[in-house]
Structure 1
Amino acid sequence: MFAITRIRSIAPPSAVVAGLIAVMVGVTSSAALVFTAARAAGADAHEISSWMLALGVGLACTCVGLSLRYRAPVVTAWSTPGAALLTTGLSGVSMAQAVGAFVFSGLLILVSGMTGWFSRLMGRIPVPLAAALLAGVLLRFGTGLFSTMHGGFAVAFPMFVLYLLGRRLLPRYAVLLALAAGVVATVFTGGWQLGQVRLALATPVFTAPEFDWKVLVSVGAPLFVVTMASQNLPGVAVIRGAGYDVPVSPLMTWTGAANAVLAPFGAFGLNLAAITAAICTGEEAHPDRDKRYLAAVWAGVFYLCVGLLGATVASLLTAMPQELVLAIAGIGLLATIEASLSAALADKASREAAVVTFLATASGVTLLGIGSAFWGLLAGLVTGAIASVGRPRSEEPAPEPLPDEVRVH
């Protein structure tokens, strides 16, 4: 009887289920992006498996460690917007250079936590421009959902319809419902290559980082900005909004340190979660708010399982029909694109600069070997600076926090 009581105290069913749902939502909506990003860097099956292992271990350590340390539901996630950025930014970049960019981004997050200049630095980048940058990076994934319907209508269309219905009836499970519809549709159309699926534990693959200044500027810096603006800012807002007064700097320090240490194995971006964090901070996770940290702890346990089975996850993604991968990636990012565009265009005074940032980023232009994410942000900042010349300071808009929806987890 004592053993049963003890188990229930550390593994209350509601907390375990909340942690499982958080991981399922995060993985199903964005694992395909991680796979695509790794492929963009030229990763083979073993390296993709290592990426999943590094991410799973990093998320397990940060979820469990930070939640136990602060007795608050601190849920971490990989950077889905960051993965989307990498799918285009890593084209023509070697794996060693990509790892160098990951280390660079992780160190920037670490320094932001150790010095406390996170809020001051992000305050210098107008929220509308950060949101426009994110929307520009994600645009092709949103349009990919509909372009997929040209040759995969029987798969993409039912997924989209069920997602819309799910958003109205079961919003927490909308992406999972869409994925289920896609799996059923592709089974009937015979698109799966299940002969490639294998059950195997992941093994780490170390890649020594190479620091190329062009890659650091075009990939590392935008990865840092997108991660901080679209993941860590709303992630902090979710924790604070749930009534947990957790110090921000240590969260940045530890996630940045874990990111930098695990980057040579494929951990491209570790950060605070937003939407999946909300799953673990609500009443559904535990009726006692002081026990809801257990949901985040169990999320960490499930992330570790995902990491250890990284090879299986990679082979499942390889076996997936391409139309299913593209459709679920687009559906998983619809809410983020919507919220990003809304935040980008909300302020009339900065609307022109936000539009310039969005268009330049979405164009995919590369100049001097530097990708469009950097040039889009630079173009937006220059546009905003020119527009503000002669404007009284009282008319300049004050930055507002990003809405919680601007995330991917």
Structure 2
Amino acid sequence: MTAASAPSGAFPPISAGVVSALVGFTSAFVIVLGGLAAVGADPDQASSGLLAVSVTMGLSCILLARSTRMPITVAWSTPGAALLATTGAVKGGWPAAVGAFLITGALIVLTGLVPKLSALIARIPASVAQAMLAGVLLHLCLGPITGLATNPLQVAPVIAVWLVAMRFLARWAAPLAFLTAAIVIGVHVATSGTAIDPAALAPRVEITTPVFTLAGLVGIALPLYLVTMASQNVPGVAVMKGLGYEVPWRRSMLVTGVGTVLGAPAGGHAINLAAISAALAAGPEAGDDRSRRWIASVTAGIVLVGLGIASAAFGALVSLAPAGVIAAVAGLALLTTFAASLKAALAEPDEQIPAVVTFATAASDIAIGGVSAAFWALIAGLVVRSVLRLERRPA
């Protein structure tokens, strides 16, 4: 290989893979930690869950990219983590949540094996699915506002950096907001004299024996499965198709489903096809030679495994944060997704009323019979949509 050909043939896929992994991880790992903690994980279990999803999605990236020679990337379910953050603990606590994660993985595997199940998921109206996601995200997106009100001196720099980055480097806005938060946390630790236990920085895997409960199935597993499929896997396939790649659906569902099952006992909630980071690894940034862009996904996978091994350090950083800082980072990272979900939910005039009902129900944060608002939002939206679409009988 000549010096002139090296940049176009080798370096762009590698650099694109590194960027894809770093952007994906730093933009959303605080959401993953927050979601796991909300459903009952202690700090060690949450760090273990972050390690599990990072390693399984990294290995899945490598496996799918090498076997298909396509730049297929795998990510954790960010909407799923946001869903967990608003769901809260169910009856049975953390073991029941782990059982729900296992069921979610099994459902993803079944989606790859049973074509009729895939077709059923595809029939869920995009307006209802996206409205449910928007309602789930609403409370988290309020984090920057509430944080600024309670702790302006330490939250304001995070918001200011994010805003400037959105103007000039939109792709890096969330990672730069996290970097600013890390600096704020560092200053806070230095000035407060907080001691850091070096042992807390070592990677750890906390295996939890799963418990299967009806509350875990209905309150966590089904909503997590639906939001992962509708907001991650289906859009992920669409993004790749737009870039000229036909993702093998069955193989992708089997790999991500099995990965979810394997990661669940360690606290991993769900992995799926990437959407935003998919464009980073499969687009022009990965080089002009389309036949070599799969290297970007392999590189991303390797970086993600490394980041996962450092998950305890990231968890310790979050645990040392002053009030409001991490909530602000999470909310800022989700604003783009929130805006896109609202836009998709309200795009069709005939779908707006069911979408608004779905959104309002999901945002209400109600829990009936131990079942989270996300599930009832989906039911409410589908019922309203069905009634409004009934043909009027002649008088």
| Aligned-partner residue type, residue 231 of structure 1 | Q
Deviations for 1:5-27, whole angstroms, at most 9, x for unmatched residues? 9xx79x93322222222122122
Q: Which residue is equivalent to 1:117?
A: 116
CA distance in 1, matches of 2:207, 2:187: 40
CA distance in 2, matches of 1:18, 1:322: 35
Select 1:71's aligned residue among 59, 69, 72: 69
Q: Which residue is equivalent to 2:138?
A: 139
Q: Which residue is equivalent to 2:312?
A: 311
Q: Are the equivalent residues in 1 in contact too, given 2:39–2:87 (CA < 8 A)? A: no
Q: Which residue is equivalent to 2:343?
A: 342
Distance change in 2, residues 1:386/1:193 (3 Å)? farther
Is residue 2:373 matched to residue 1:372? yes
Q: Secondary structure at the match of 2:151?
A: helix
| Aligned-partner residue type, residue 110 of structure 2 | V
Deviations for 1:96-132, whole angstroms, at most 9, x for unmatched residues? 1001110111111100011223541123211100000
CA distance in 2, matches of 1:97, 1:31: 22
Q: Secondary structure at the match of 1:322?
A: coil
Q: Which residue is equivalent to 1:326?
A: 327
CA distance in 2, matches of 1:335, 1:313: 23
CA distance in 1, matches of 2:98, 2:182: 33
Displacement of 1:187 in angstroms is: 4.8
Q: Which residue is equivalent to 1:196?
A: 196
Q: Which residue is equivalent to 1:90?
A: 88
Q: Secondary structure at the match of 2:272?
A: strand
For residues 100-115 of structure 1, the aligned pairs below 5 Å read 100-115=99-114
Deviates more, 1:301-310 or 1:175-184: 175-184
Deviates more, 1:295-304 or 1:90-99: 90-99
Deviates more, 1:200-209 or 1:322-331: 200-209
Gaps of 5+ in 2: none
Distance change in 2, residues 1:296/1:243 (3 Å)? same
CA distance in 2, matches of 1:192, 1:372: 39
CA distance in 1, matches of 2:290, 2:323: 42
Displacement of 1:194 in angstroms is: 6.1
Q: Secondary structure at the match of 1:195?
A: coil
Q: Are the equivalent residues in 2 in contact too, given 1:76–1:273 (CA < 8 A)? A: yes
CA distance in 2, matches of 1:59, 1:129: 28
Is residue 2:231 matched to residue 1:230? yes
Q: Which residue is equivalent to 1:295?
A: 296
Q: Secondary structure at the match of 1:91?
A: coil
Q: Secondary structure at the match of 2:75?
A: strand
Q: Which residue is equivalent to 2:153?
A: 154
TM-score, with structure 1 as normaliser: 0.89
Displacement of 1:168 in angstroms is: 2.8
Select 1:46's aligned residue among 33, 44, 51: 44
CA distance in 2, matches of 1:168, 1:316: 28
Distance change in 2, residues 1:169/1:244 (3 Å)? same
Q: Are the equivalent residues in 2 in contact too, given 1:197–1:312 (CA < 8 A)? A: no
Deviates more, 1:120-129 or 1:177-186: 177-186
Deviates more, 1:67-76 or 1:169-178: 169-178
| Aligned-partner residue type, residue 80 of structure 1 | T
Displacement of 1:370 in angstroms is: 0.9
Deviates more, 1:29-38 or 1:223-232: 29-38
Q: Which residue is equivalent to 2:174?
A: 175
Displacement of 1:152 in angstroms is: 2.1
Displacement of 1:196 in angstroms is: 2.7
Displacement of 1:174 in angstroms is: 1.6
CA distance in 2, matches of 1:313, 1:273: 22
Q: Are the equivalent residues in 2 in contact too, given 1:198–1:312 (CA < 8 A)? A: no
Deviates more, 1:182-191 or 1:198-207: 182-191
Distance change in 2, residues 1:15/1:334 (3 Å)? same
Count of matched residue positions in the alignment of Structure 1 and Structure 2: 388
CA distance in 1, matches of 2:305, 2:140: 28
| Aligned-partner residue type, residue 196 of structure 2 | Q
Is residue 2:237 matched to residue 1:239? no
Deviates more, 1:83-92 or 1:131-140: 83-92
Q: Which residue is equivalent to 1:99?
A: 98
Q: Secondary structure at the match of 1:284?
A: helix
Q: Are the equivalent residues in 2 in contact too, given 1:166–1:174 (CA < 8 A)? A: yes
Q: Are the equivalent residues in 1 in contact too, given 2:185–2:317 (CA < 8 A)? A: no
Distance change in 2, residues 1:295/1:391 (3 Å)? farther
Deviations for 1:272-309, whole angstroms, at most 9, x for unmatched residues? 11111111112222221111111110110011112222
Displacement of 1:250 in angstroms is: 1.1
Q: Which residue is equivalent to 1:35?
A: 33
Q: Secondary structure at the match of 1:368?
A: coil
Distance change in 2, residues 1:243/1:197 (3 Å)? farther
Gaps of 5+ in 1: 393-409
| Aligned-partner residue type, residue 157 of structure 2 | P
Deviations for 1:38-87, whole angstroms, at most 9, x for unmatched residues? 22233233322321221122112110000000001111111011011112
Q: Are the equivalent residues in 2 in contact too, given 1:345–1:351 (CA < 8 A)? A: yes
Deviates more, 1:267-276 or 1:24-33: 24-33
Displacement of 1:181 in angstroms is: 3.3
Q: Are the equivalent residues in 2 in contact too, given 1:114–1:250 (CA < 8 A)? A: no
Is residue 2:353 matched to residue 1:352? yes
CA distance in 2, matches of 1:353, 1:130: 11
Q: Percent identity?
A: 37
Distance change in 2, residues 1:193/1:316 (3 Å)? farther
CA distance in 1, matches of 2:318, 2:197: 9
